[in-house]
Structure 1
Amino acid sequence: MRILKIVLCLLVFANTTANFAQDFTADWTGHYSYLDIKDVTKSQEKLYVAATNAVFTYDFISREIHTISTINGLSGDDITTVLYIEDKSILLIGYDNGLIQVYDEIDNSVFSVVDILEKQTIPAASKKINQFYRFEDVVYISTGFGISVYDINQLEFGDTYYIGPNNTQINVNQTTVFNGFIHAASSQGMYKGELANPNLIDAAEWQSINANNWVGIQKVQDNLYAALSNNKIYEVVNSNFIEKTTIQGTVSDFKSVDNHLVITATNLVKVYSNDFSEVYSTIIDVSEYSNLNTALIANQDEVFIGTKAIVNSGNAGLGILKTSYFDQDVYEEIHPTGPLKNRFFQININGNHLWGTHGGHNAILNFEIGDYRRTGLSYFNSEEWDNIPYKTFNESVANPFFLTGIVINPFNVNQVYVTSYGSGLIELTNREITNYFNQDNSTLSPFYSNFYLTSKAVFNEDGELWVMNGRVDKPLNIYSNNQWSSFSFQDVIPDPFDENGFFDTVFDDSGNFFLGTHRFGIIGLNKNGNNITFNHLSEEEEGMPSPSVKTLTIDNNGQLWLGTDKGLRIVYNTDQFVNGEAEVDNIVVLDDGIARELLFQQYITDIEVDGSNNKWVATLDTGLYYFSSDGQETIFHFTKDNSPLPTNDILDVDIDDVNGIVYIATDKGMVSYKSEASKPQVTLENAYVYPNPVRPNFNIISDKVKIRDLSENVNIKILDIEGNLVAEAETNTNSRFKGYNLEIDGGTALWNGKNLGGNIVASGVYLIMLNDLDTFETKVLKVMVVR
């Protein structure tokens, strides 16, 4: 096996923009993983790489990398194949669901072709786009149902060929044109149809030349080669199949590139000349690295290999590995900065530190299936991602499975704790694993064998770490001053096996502790020494829409907001709840004059509170809501259709209180939104205004002048140099999104440059008078406007 000497190339430059698709680059940023590669194509100057649901380009000369994602108009769905058409300067992107998108590199626009996606006569499972093959001015699209013909001049569909017996739909993996015939490799055989035949929509006009399961067919100069599902490679001569070789491993890609045949299998890449002479071969030890998924050659001797994660071992993908014919022991790792995986389970942010987990439990707190058992952690420092792969955990921790919850120590942001369903609780300091706690060195105990249900951990204001562990006699575990203690919940949950675990936890300002459960609703408790006072609500008769409470948060007024799988509730007085007067309320809003319950029967996954006490509410199926502080006004409702969200299933949200950035995690990637709302400061000492000066090229109306680091309750007056009042605002009166020229959003005020008359102010110096209405502290700022 070849040992890789990998040189990392992690370059990131400005994203391209979209014109026909809505341009979200001003307010949104994409945080997608580019490690698992689906397909690769090229032009003379660039490599075009399709990751799971985003694309990046790599310039052969400058080595610059640019990304194209939902921020630029891509759908966010799973990509299956790409093809660059150089003379048209367009990139065709095919998806698993049948969608095709066309990226125009000249004007950076993206538009969608939905004919296959919306075709009702084709089953959803058969709409997958398997391959694009260009011949003259048409592209033959191999799909799960047959072959579609696409005119690249008119950008519209022509005929569709259902080539199965009696015009039935069959899965076509690849097509090519050779000696006047369209050859189609399908799971039910190899077919060919005469290119000049005007009646190819009739399956009877297609000849079946072999009945086996074919995964690929490629024309290489004057020769035709085919790949069988058993990994045998054949030359096709006059419809006869001549065996050439057998490839070790599963063939994942079969390409004709620059008069060469490029074959990619699980752990190898082979390149053959047109007469099937081997010119390049590499074998990679997949136990140490990643599976290989696709490859091509460029610039005569360079090889670009697309990799993907190995689920069973936890090895992450490596993006593109670049090597050459003449230096096969050196591989350069090429991909944009990004997280380990697109699927986030939980994120946590404090200052410039953002952490994300990718494992997790399912909706009833049992072990999640799929590729979530062996994952790692993704870490973002506000500029780039610097991740910790699974194998790093596996070297130090026994059974680091299902990394689920993560909490940053508020007293030491360089220390984080991660809950694991396989090893208990893992401690990291300065991104190094420094400890892990299980039954041997803590009060944490497994519910079975070496498996734990430690799903949540949270710090209280005294620096104690409270860790919840499901299906055990003492589910509450407290770590304080290097000592552990644990407490029973028998008063609320008599049989610990009746409750799998706990979804979310939160403290209020009085030190009351609240938990969301799957079967026992919301539990509130107060710990006084070793004595715990409990109360809980779970039944519909008690006002709960469901006993499954997914998320909890305390807002700036001390009210507890809770989300269930069937709606939203509020506890207005948390002290009364814990002391025996448990009560929850819903929120009633008027919709066209009709009273209705806010988010009735909605599956709510997270609720976050920003600096203005407004609420960000994440849901499954319906996207992300941004409500006013009392929930009576919907400020934004972001969905896949009106924003760069890759899906309407939002798994978690967290807010950078300093910069007002909202991070939105889904199972198809994470995006962030610049909300401008920030957390109010204690004083006005650090208040500042930007940009300053305001130059003529700054769009003051839309981008606005920001006054940051305001205190909680302020009055702001903007005066011209002669002392005339230009604008005025006050906290709780001139709130944002109400149409004011000067508006206050938490610790940030925004001014659109207009005066009391609604006109944009003239060039000059303007005074900003800040007055804290509670402490009477004042501060004066100056801003210069140049028009």
Structure 2
Amino acid sequence: MIKKITRILLLLLPIVAFSQDYSAQWQGHFSYYDIKDVSQGNGKIYAAAENAIFSYDTETNEIETITTVNGLSGETIVAIHYSDVYELLIVGYENGLMEIVFDDSEEDVLTIVEIFEKPTIPPTDKYINHFNEHDGLVYISTEYGISVYDLERLEFGDTYYIGDQGTQINVNQTVVYNDFIYAACLGGSGIKRAPLNSNNLVNFEEWERVASGYFLVIGKNNDNLYTAKANKTFYQFEDDNTLTELVSYADEPIDLRSINNYLIVTTKNDVYVYDGDFIQIAQVSTGNILDTEFTSATIDTEYLYIGTTGLGLIKTPLLNPVTFDEILPNGPLFNYAFSIKASANNLWVTYGDYDLSFNPYPYKQYGYSHLKNEEWRNIPFDSVLGARDLNTISVNPFAENHVFISSFQDGLLEVEDDISVVLHDQTNSGLESLVIPGNPSVVSVRQGGSNFDRNGVLWTTTGRVERPLKSYDPSTGQWQSYDFSTLIQDGLNDEWGHEDLVVDSNGTKWFGGYNYGLIGYNENNSSVKLRALYTEEQNMPSPIITALALDDRNQIWCGTDKGLRVLYNTTSFFTEASVSASQIIILEDGVAEELLFQQFITDIEVDGSNNKWVSTLDSGLFYFSSDGQETIYHFTTENSALPTNNVLDLSIDSANGTVYIGTEKGIVSFKAGGSSATESLDAAYVYPNPVRPTFNITEDKVKIKDISDNVNIKITDIEGNLVAEAETRTNTRYKGYNLEIDGGTAFWNGKNLANNVVASGVYLIMLSDLDTLETKVLKIMVVR
């Protein structure tokens, strides 16, 4: 009843809003290895990772996640608290944002921006340290003081600035004890307290300092008050405001809580559990078995649950903590996804980055992650043969389990079935290290963009060498190198690295650079083999290429740090006297504008319909029609499950049309639904079949899969009456047709030519390839 009442009251509050649930088409792929805080209630243990939360049911062992797909903001979480009385989870962020997740089937997430938007508090001081619930109020400890939130009314109360003369000071934790509210303050502000029943707690004079020093935590258990200083000493706070030293720890206490009459003290290397008389009954320490640091801990009747860095949530018996279970949802190693690559029901992720100017320092030693059939396999650094700064992933088109991963320091890692088989470098392959005159001891094999051609030959680029383009044939083991000195005279200093690489239908290799823009190379040309597009006279907004894509018309789409360009005529690139790129001009409210003018483009991907997905560094994700004239989607954190508008990389699973979106705060995927066209109609099928009454045909639509590139589709009833018709070039998706075609998939909303949902019966789907004249007939039963 409480929740129903408070949701009605929300209509009166302008500073809160319910977030949307995007679970229909979105899926989150977040890392849960680093736990920021834990809480418990309703038979569950809640654990907050960087920007996602999971719950663990202590009875059923079931794990459920709460992410941006369910409405979380995607910002960095620093504190959580579960309220048993109101059956809700409070989430606090480092930027002052708060969210409330209601514990019911509706999965509502209430966003609270009171602190986040408060102009009188500096942005750097809005960090939420702790939640303390008492009599329906939550006392929020922050870096500026204490704010009060009413859980009954779901609204903010007063804010207490309790420093001298009412200044803002950092409050780390509060507790209510003997009708006083106590605050442990950092920065030497000591412990302050004020009468709980005072009507004037906003007056700093109500708050008296009862202890001096730098206090980290404060809490009560069995009618005793406890606290700890930055000197690593733990005290009992006596009624006469004196401190009685109880124990000194090897590390500073970072978390203190009382549960079931047990006092739990957490340091980065130890968790201590005391009973009501402060007798230690358990201690868990890091070490050889637990290679981690602790962040927080809680208990239930039998087990101790500890938040860690790198191991997720660990569970151990309270009275005999010698065995440990790791509890965490399936997910990748890290949230920061520098490069991603999808193939049929697979996704690879790497984390070793370099900056815009191809500087790899400091080196990243992170391994990689592989999602296969919805299960994550995380390969640690000690299993990648020492390859640092792993970036671009290329999948062998003839062997899906065979991949090559570029290292921007150590060469090219070859992997089979997630086992590293060889690290190709300057000692065992055709790859080269950069050479610094006068310092021959420096070895750095900087592999960047790579891709396979249609013959299964891998093309890869090396930074800061005279021969930056290499080819490798896995079937023969043969390497070849290609000299670019006619364009780049000083390989070490004139070009620093190469971004993306695509191979077109003519065998031309296209890749980007930092100083030389779009570079095209075709070793089979009789005259000009190498050319670049990078100057203002060639209509390039910047020589820095950040993304490349080859579309179905053999056109090159170029992303730069200052906008988008397209090279339409690739066949004459090497023969025309003057070559230039083109911007896309669109009409915005009747005014001609350049598409994505001055936007930092991070990636471009082409789907089965030749439409373009374009990601940006700060404006989210765009989905454009094949020519860029129509914006089908523009996803941001405001209208999607994106955890941030800084999108780093994209990849499309062409088998099912799923778009994977890599960001600095995690990976999400969007079920676009289309797929790549097939060469014939042999494998075409329709689903669901039969269409049952429980299936929402108008919204979820019938899918006709594995159709060819240029096809006519007619749907008729059993008597031959035309129900719907579409052709690939005409009835494209997102145009509002009843029957739409998106690459290798067609979508039918169940409506006939009169725009009415069809009756129950058997319907024929007649497919005709307009190029090969191949035909196929499918049957589908509709039950209403």
Pairwise same-fold verdict (TM > 0.5): yes
Residue 312 of structure 1 corresponds to which residue in structure 2?
none
Q: 2:448 aligns with which of 439, 446, 455?
A: 455
Q: Contact conserved, 1:535 with 1:582, CA < 8 A, in 2?
A: no
Q: Which runs of 5+ in 1 are unaligned?
A: 1-18, 309-316
Q: Is 1:583 the equivalent of 2:580?
A: yes
Distance 1:197 1:326, change over 3 A: closer
Post-superposition CA distance 1:67-100 (Å, at most 9, x none): 1111111111111111110121111011111111
Which residue in the other structure is 1:57 paired with?
55
Shift of 1:212: 2.0
1:531 to partner: Cα distance: 9.1
Q: Which moved more, 1:273-282 or 1:769-778?
A: 273-282
Deviates more, 1:467-476 or 1:647-656: 467-476
- 2:616 is the alignment partner of 1:611: no
Deviates more, 1:88-97 or 1:267-276: 267-276
SS of the equivalent of 1:52 reads coil
- Displacement of 1:139 in angstroms is 0.5
Matched, 1:402 2:395: no
Question: Matches of 2:227 and 2:446 in 1, distance apart?
Answer: 50
1:110-189 alignment runs, 5 A limit = 110-188=109-187, 189=190
Q: Which residue of 1 aligns with 2:546?
A: 550
**Aligned CA distance change for structure 1 residues 161 and 657 (closer, same or farther; 3 Å):** same
Report what 1:489 is aligned to.
Answer: 484
Q: How many Å apart are 1:592 and its aligned residue?
A: 1.2
Distance 1:775 1:691, change over 3 A: same
Match of 2:464 in 1: 471
2:391 is aligned with what amino acid? T
1:72 aligns to 2:70 (yes or no): yes
Map of 1:10 onto structure 2 = none
The sequence identity of aligned pairs, in percent, is 48
Q: Is the 8 A contact 1:134 1:140 kept in 2?
A: yes
Distance change in 2, residues 1:531/1:37 (3 Å): farther
Q: Which amino acid aligns with 1:357?
A: T
Runs ≥4 in structure 1, deviation > 4 angstroms? 529-532
Instruction: Give the secondary-structure state (helix, strand or coil) at the position aligned to 2:523.
Output: strand
For the structure 1 residues 711 and 322, does the alpha-carbon distance in structure 2 shift closer, same or farther, using more than 3 Å as the test? same
User: Does the residue aligned with 1:702 lie in a helix, a strand or coil?
Assistant: helix
**1:36-69, Cα deviation, whole Å (9 max, x unpaired):** 1011101141111111111111111110111111
> TM-score, length-normalised on structure 1?
0.93
C-alpha separation between the residues in 1 aligned to 2:553 and 2:698?
Answer: 32
CA distance in 1, matches of 2:322, 2:248: 24
Choose which of 361, 365, 369 in structure 2 pairs with 1:374. Answer: 365
Deviation at 1:426, TM superposition (A): 1.2
Shift of residue 529, structure 1, vs aligned partner? 9.5
Q: Report the counterpart of residue 622 of structure 1 in structure 2.
A: 619
8 A contact 2:217–2:254 mirrored in 1:
no
Asked whether 1:321 is paired with 2:314, we answer: yes
Show the counterpart of 1:341.
Answer: 334
Cα distance change of structure 1 residues 119 and 368 upon mapping to structure 2, 3 Å threshold: farther
Which stretch of structure 1 is more off in the superposition, 230-239 or 622-631?
A: 230-239
Counterpart AA for 1:221: N
Hey, what does 1:307 align to over in structure 2? 308
The one-letter amino acid paired with 1:378 is: S
**Amino acid of the structure 2 residue aligned with 1:136:** D
Q: Give the Cα–Cα distance (whole angstroms) in 2 for the partners of residues 477 and 251 of structure 1.
A: 54
Q: Equivalents in 2 of 1:732, 1:252: separation in Å?
A: 62
2:419 aligned with 1:432, yes or no? yes
Alignment counterpart, residue 30 of structure 1, candidates 11, 15, 28? 28
1:512 and 1:575 in contact (8 A); partners too: no
In the other structure, the counterpart of 1:9 is none
1:291-325 deviations in whole A, cap 9, x for unaligned?
Answer: 221111111x31111111xxxxxxxx111110013
Structure 1 distance, partners of 2:452, 2:329, is: 34
- Return the offset for 1:168: 1.2
**2:400 matched to which residue of 1?**
413
Deviation per CA, 1:432-479: give whole Å up to 9, x if none.
111002221123233362333222222222222222121223222222
Q: Which amino acid aligns with 1:705?
A: V
Do the aligned partners of 2:266 and 2:297 also contact (CA within 8 Å) in 1? yes
- Report deviation, 1:527: 1.4
Give the corresponding residue for 1:251. Answer: 253
Matched, 1:521 2:517: yes
Separation in 2, partners of 1:62, 1:547: 57
Alpha-carbon deviation of 1:288?
A: 6.5
Number of residues of Structure 1 aligned to a counterpart in Structure 2:
754
Q: After superposition, give the CA deviation of every residue in 1:108-165 in whole Å (9 maximum; x if it has no partner).
A: 2111111011111111111111110001110100011110011110011111001112
Amino acid of the structure 1 residue aligned with 2:609: S
Report if the CA contact (8 A) 2:449-2:511 is conserved: no
The answer to whether the 8 Å contact 2:410/2:446 transfers is no
| Whole-Å separation in 2 of the counterparts to 1:533 and 1:422 | 28
Secondary structure, in 3 states, of the residue corresponding to 1:611? coil
2:559 partner SS:
strand
1:350/1:410 contact within 8 Å kept: no
- Residue 578 to residue 411, structure 1, CA distance change in 2 (3 Å): farther
- Deviations along 1:8-47, whole A, 9 cap, x unmatched? xxxxxxxxxxx94222111111111111101110114111
Matching residue's letter, 1:388? I
Q: Residue 693 of structure 1 is aligned with which of 686, 690, 708?
A: 690
Distance 1:81 1:365 in 2: 36
Tell me how far 1:176 sits from its aligned partner: 0.6
- Would you say the 8 A contact 2:460–2:501 is kept in 1? no
Amino acid at match of 2:615: A
Give the Cα separation in 2 of the matches to 1:589 and 1:518.
28
CA gap 1:51/1:474 in 2 versus in 1, 3 angstroms: same
Equivalent residues of 1:267, 1:286 under 8 A apart: no
The AA in structure 2 aligned to 1:577 is: F
Separation of aligned partners in 2, 1:698 and 1:77:
36
Q: Residue type of the partner of 1:431?
A: D
The one of 377, 385, 392 equivalent to 2:383 is 392
Query: Which of 542, 563, 569 pairs up with 1:567?
Result: 563
Using the alignment, how far apart are the partners of 2:525 and 2:422 within structure 1? 27
Which of 494, 498, 503 is 1:502 aligned to? 498
Counterparts of 1:629-778 in structure 2 under 5 Å? 629-778=626-775
User: Structure 1 residue 225: deviation in Å?
Assistant: 1.2
Query: CA separation in 2, counterparts of 1:201 and 1:498?
Result: 63
The amino acid across from 2:566 in the alignment is: I
CA offset digits 1:634-664 (Å, max 9, x no partner): 0011110000100001101110111111111
TM-score of the two chains, using structure 2 as the length reference? 0.94
Q: How far 1:576 moved relative to its partner? A: 1.6
How far apart are residue 726 of structure 1 and its match?
0.8
Which amino acid in the other structure matches residue 169 of structure 1?
A: Q
Shift of residue 725, structure 1, vs aligned partner: 0.8
Instruction: Give how far 1:328 is off.
Output: 2.2
Structure 1 residue 721, shift from structure 2 partner? 1.3
- Report 1:215-364 matches (<5 A): 215-237=216-238, 238-285=240-287, 289-299=291-301, 301-308=302-309, 317-364=310-357
Aligned to 2:11: none
- Of the structure 1 ranges 257-266 and 284-293, higher mean CA displacement relative to structure 2 is found in 284-293
Structure 1 pair 530/418, CA: closer, same or farther in 2 (3 Å)? farther
Residue 7 of structure 2 corresponds to which residue in structure 1? none
Report the CA distance between 1:575 and its aligned residue.
Answer: 2.5
SS of 1:711's equivalent in the other structure is: coil
Q: Partner amino acid for 2:93?
A: Y
Q: Which amino acid in structure 1 is aligned with residue 192 of structure 2?
A: Y
1:46 corresponding residue in structure 2: 44
CA contact under 8 A between 1:605 and 1:620: conserved in structure 2? yes
- SS of 2:61 mapped into structure 1: coil
Q: Distance in 2 between matches of 1:297 and 1:532?
A: 71
Structure 1, 535-544 or 242-251: larger mean CA deviation: 242-251
Mapped to 2, the partners of 1:450 and 1:155 lie a distance apart of 60
Q: Against the structure 1 CA distance between its residues 352 and 642, is the aligned structure 2 distance closer, same or farther, given a 3 Å change threshold?
A: same
